Structure 1
Amino acid sequence: MELANRLFFRLYQCANMLHKTGTRAVEAQGLTTQQWAVLGALSRPEAADGMSVGDLARYLMVSRQNLSGLISRMERDGHLGSAPDGRDRRSRRITMTESGREVWVNEAQPNIRRYYGQALAGFSVGDMAHTLHYLLKLLGNMQRLDEEGVAAAEDGHEASDAATPG
């Protein structure tokens, strides 16, 4: 228990420092780490035609509610555009604008590369590969817990709905 507590506390600290120092790395571009993550997700070749808000939220593992405000701010800043999704008119498709792509490729990327170099100082390729392996293993376990929690909550709602006279 003590070792697990130390591990999760360090993970918590790393996440907080990522937000703090990562945002500092891209603040000259008017970005935060959350906006960096959105632009990074949308810059992938498989997202060339944009992503639905739901798909983007699932990819980033955030709630649609948290993502909604972020997308609005990024649209206001000219980094993102949205349009009705051709496959599902109820859904919006989010794309990176030309201005957003310019900021991402020519301004933010050099700072992000420099940040990675500084944050990973002293890490060998093997260290990075091992760290990635263990983080993916932990993430998989956490995703399973999340899915079980969602299923249990849904079962609880169904049970309470069945018990409620209608």
Structure 2
Amino acid sequence: MSDALPSNYDQSLYSAHNRLFFRLFQVGNTLDRKCSNELGISPVHWAVLGALSRPRVQSGMSFSDLTEYLGVSRQNLDAVLKRLERDGLVQRIISEHDRRAKNVALTAEGLKTWESLQDDFFNFYAQALDTLAFDDVVTLIHLLNKVNDGLKSIKIEQQAASS
């Protein structure tokens, strides 16, 4: 074991954590591949359309609120929105509250596309989660929320390199 490891280092715990984060990585990659191959849509496009399809944001939501809601960077979201705008699925409209700001909203075509995908989404969910009971799904959501909160709170202080 290296001297650089913390004094409370536990190999079993580290191994379990490593496996968990690797599985999350695999799940993300599998989701990306299956969405593209089976649904013809990327997970981030799916997430943007889903976020904007919610009834409380029918008139759109600010770019900043959308980045926060989705947990993506401004640069990544901007690139995704440009493609969705090009495809006629979303639009940026001047905010009613601040004429300098723009909100992002689904177009009529975007809403129609979202609605046309619902049966495929339902089938996708059903197949992906076929082996999980309802209570397992609820528990998994709860646990993933805890992992996400933990990730958001990470602050690793960089130690000065020893000379």
TM-score between both structures, scaled by the size of structure 2: 0.83
Deviates more, 1:87-96 or 1:128-137: 87-96
Give the number of aligned pairs.
145
Structure 1 portions without partners, runs of 5+: 153-166
Establish whether residue 56 from structure 1 lines up as the match of residue 66 from structure 2: yes
Shift of 1:43: 0.8
**Structure 2: gaps of 5 or more residues:** 1-13, 158-163
1:155 aligns with none
Q: Secondary structure at the match of 1:58?
A: helix
Equivalence for 1:114: 123
Paired letter, 1:74: L
Q: What's the RMSD between the two structures over aligned residues?
A: 1.7
Counterpart pick for 2:93 among 77, 83, 101: 83
Aligned amino acid, residue 66 of structure 1? N
Map of 2:148 onto structure 1:
139
Is 1:25 aligned with 2:38? yes
Q: 2:82 aligns with which of 72, 87, 107?
A: 72
Which of 1 and 2 has greater Rg?
2
Distance in 2 (CA, whole Å) between partners of 1:89 and 1:15 is 38
Moved over 4 A (4+): none
Q: What is the DSSP-based 3-state SS (H/G/I as helix, E as strand, rest coil) of the residue aligned with 2:105?
A: strand
Letter in 2 for 1:49: S
Distance 2:57 2:38 in 1: 25
Whether the 8 Å contact between 1:37 and 1:60 is mirrored in structure 2 is yes
Deviation at 1:24, TM superposition (A): 2.1
Identical pairs, percent: 37
AA of the residue aligned to 2:93: A
Q: Are 1:15 and 2:28 matched, yes or no? A: yes
Shift of 1:91: 2.3
Q: Deviations over 1:77-101 (max 9, x none)?
A: 0101111222233321111011111
Normalised to the residue count of structure 1, the TM-score between the two structures is 0.82
